[in-house]
């Protein structure tokens, strides 16, 4: 039988109260607390914590504090990725973010989801779907990226958008639910 962590990462139903997952969330909270206690001038300390916390990061990544995650180890950042203040990444599944992507304040990237049927929710089951954000993407403040979404290279997500579907390369989306904006001639 597969362990609950393997189920979680694969997107299958899993029990979030599993002792291993509880320990890993506690570890995450400790790393998160340490990171969020730093300032921009603590660059060496920040790099050390990020290297222990995240699944991978490229060069010159900047994550303004506070920054929040479920586990951290499912987050993979390319080079020159920027997160502004107050971002949340619920990373029960993999989150991949490409080089040069800029993420505004209070953006939420969610891989965590819950069953639609009441019996599975009553059983305490959860599941997730990975999120992939391409290269050179700009995500405006307060946007919400839902589980399973892929955002193509060079796309723009408007401030406050709720992204429920994939966004094609080079497309600008805005609104709730996010829809492509028609360029003006």
The DSSP result for 87-124, as a single string, is: EEEE-SS-EEE-TT-EE-TT-EEE-EE--SSHHHHHTT
pLDDT score, position 182: 78
CB 82 within 8 A of CB 102: yes
Is the link from the previous residue into 23 a cis peptide, with omega within 30 of 0? Answer: no
pLDDT at 142: 98
Q: What local confidence, expressed as pLDDT, does residue 183 receive?
A: 72
Task: State the catalytic residues.
Answer: 114
Q: What pLDDT, on a 0 to 100 scale, did the predictor assign at position 78?
A: 98
> How far is 63 from 184, CA to CA, in rounded Å?
34
Q: Identify the H or E element spanning 128.
A: strand 127-128
Query: Mean pLDDT of successive 10-residue segments in the chain (185 residues)?
Result: 90 96 97 97 96 97 98 98 98 98 98 95 95 98 98 98 98 97 74
Domains of the chain: 4-180 (2.160.10.10)
Rounded Cα–Cα distance for residues 18 and 112 (Å): 16
Beta strands across the sheet bearing 95-97? 56-57, 75-77, 95-97, 131-133, 150-151
Residue 96: how many other CB atoms lie within 10 Å = 17
């Amino acid at each position: 039988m597969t362990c609950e962590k393997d189920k979680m990462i694969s997107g299958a139903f899993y029990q979030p109260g599993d002792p291993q997952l509880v320990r890993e969330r506690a570890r995450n909270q400790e790393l998160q607390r340490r990171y969020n206690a730093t300032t921009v001038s603590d660059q060496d300390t920040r790099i050390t914590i990020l290297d222990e916390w995240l699944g991978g990061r490229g060069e010159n990544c900047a994550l303004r504090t506070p920054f929040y995650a479920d586990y951290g180890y499912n987050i993979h950042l390319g080079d020159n990725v920027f997160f502004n203040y107050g971002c949340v990444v619920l990373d029960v599944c993999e989150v991949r973010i490409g080089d040069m992507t800029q993420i505004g304040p209070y953006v939420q990237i969610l891989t965590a989801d819950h069953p639609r049927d009441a019996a599975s929710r009553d059983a305490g089951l959860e599941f997730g779907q990975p999120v992939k954000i391409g290269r050179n993407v700009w995500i405006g403040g307060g946007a919400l990226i839902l589980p399973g979404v892929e955002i193509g290279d060079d796309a723009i997500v408007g401030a406050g958008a709720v992204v429920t579907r994939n966004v094609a390369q080079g497309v600008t989306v805005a609104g709730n639910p996010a829809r492509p904006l028609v360029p003006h001639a």
